[in-house]
Each structure stands twice: as structure tokens, then as C-alpha cells.
Amino acid sequence: MSGPQLTQEELLWCARTTWEAEKAHREIDMLTMTYPQLDRPAGYQVQELRVRLVQEEGHRVVGYKLGSTGLRKRMQMGTTACSYGRLFDYMRMEPGQPLRMDESIHPKAEPEITFVLARDLSGPCVTAAQVMAATDYVAASLEIIDSRYRDFRFTGGDVTADNASAHRFLISARKYSPLASDLSLIGLKFTRSGQICGLAAACEIMGHPARAVAGFVNQFWRETGGLGVKAGQLIMTGGITQAVALARGSRVEARFGRLGPVGLQAV
């Protein structure tokens, strides 16, 4: 970390800056250009303040999204550190609903497996087996990330402050028991406008996506000073392939073996 820690006022300025950019669909310079000392822990402080700003405008947290849990995402983004962001009610898309480019900056799509909990889970030492036992169902999903930073470039502190680039998400209506078969072996074909852009299996997510959920629950407990994840909340476990850029007219579809297909069109 270089320079003195950020003051509460500076942290709040960072929170406002990325939230305003999200609402205006406008890209901004990295916060670390102004505050080079914004590291990941400071990024989480900003994220907490940003959550409060968003809630003050009447939006509700419905779950969490995990970042850089997938091997290919880590390679794409040049990082090895997992991160998380909040999913809000306004980000949810319904099947058949198009992604509006005029409400986005430079959106990218990535296929993910989403867990929905049947019971509350709290760190500090939750295991993947406990996650499986506490899961109501899993479902195929697409995440649309849309970094507020110019050219989709950022440091770990920047992206954490920017709610891990969260923008929109779509969860398939088909619910699947995580115990019905080996979830880590579920295969996936990801296409954009008919062209294959990813072939993968769920084990790309830390060997098994439940492991990513466990790691997140423990990290969340540490970052928030003891908070847990609630029954009914969604946990998107991270992009299994690389994220692909969308343009007006792009159609992306992820066909997830037993979990079924999920797709959307950008307009």
C-alpha cells in the first residue's frame, strides 16, 4: 500500500463515483489513478458504503456473485485472488428479456452455476460438504458484467470497489439438486451468435463450485466482521469460461448438460 489510508470521506467519494457511473452508463478512470493506495481491503470498505447508497435508493440485495473463481477468468484477468460483489433486485433479468445496450457501457457475458441456499450459512470455516447440505437447488445462469472503468481495466482494489463489475444476471427457471449427480462434471457449451466461444465443465470452478461458495462464505465472514449468507439468497459461483463482449444483436447461449440452456439477446 502506498500513501496514507483513505479517509471515510474519500472512501465515500469512491463509492459515489462508481455508483453514479453505473446509473449513468458512463465509463470512468480507475479510482486508483486518484488513490493509488486503494487496495482490496479498502475496496471492500468502499463496496460496503456503495451497498448502503444503493439500498438508500430502494434497491434490495438478493445475493452475491463470486469473481475470478474460474481458471479461465483468472487467466483472462491476470489475477489469482477471488473477490465478491452484491447482486441487487434491479439487476435480475427474466427469461426472454433482452439486455439493453443503452443501459450498459461495454457488457460481457459469462456462464455460471448459481446456488440457492435452503439454510443460512456463516463462516469462518464452512466446508464444501456443508455448502452442499445447505443448498436448496442449483441452476444454469448467465452473468453480465459491465466494469465501470475505461476499457474494462482495473486493479483488485478498483474492481472490488466497483461491486465486482456486477450489472445483470439471468437464472434459468429449471432447478436442479446439487446431489443428483457429480456437479463438477457438468459440461457446458457457450456460444455467441451461433459460434462456440467456450467448452468447459463446472470443475473449472476450483475443482467444484461448492468449494467456491465455501471460500466465499468464509471470506465474507472475515470482511464483514461476522456476517453470514441467508436462506433464499443467490450465490453466482463465477464465470466458467472467459467472458465474451456483447454488441447490439449478439445472442449468447450457455447449454449446461443436465442443468439445461440459458440465453439472452443484446438489443
By CB under 5 A, name the binding residues for Mg ion.
Answer: 110, 143, 239
Nearer to ligand OOG, 157 or 239 (CB): 239
Strands 234-236 and 61-67: parallel
Within 78-228, strands assigned E span 83-88, 92-93, 108-117, 135-145, 166-171, 187-192, 195-201
User: Is residue 205 within 8 Å of residue 113, measured between CB atoms?
Assistant: yes
Q: Select 238 or 263, whichever has its Cβ closest to ligand OOG.
A: 238
Neighbours of 103 (CB within 10 A): 13
Give the nearer residue to ligand OOG in terms of CB position, either 82 or 131.
82
Q: Determine if 68 is a binding residue for ligand OOG (CB under 6 A).
A: yes
Q: Kindly state whether residue 77 participates in binding ligand OOG, applying the rule CB under 6 A.
A: yes
Considering only 107, 178, 215, 239, the residue that binds ligand OOG (CB under 6 A) is 239
CB nearer Mg ion, residue 143 or residue 158:
143
CB 148 within 8 A of CB 28: yes
Give the range of 6-14, 19-27, 40-48, 66-74 binding ligand OOG by CB under 6 A: 66-74
Applying CB under 6 A, does 22 fall inside the site for ligand OOG? no
The residues near 2 (Cβ < 8 Å, ≥ 6 apart) are 36, 37
Contact between 198 and ligand OOG by CB under 6 A: the answer reads: no
> Residue 77's closest CA among 171, 176, 145?
145
| Binding positions for ligand OOG, rule: CB under 6 A | 65, 67-68, 70, 73, 77, 110, 143, 145, 147, 159, 164-165, 238-239
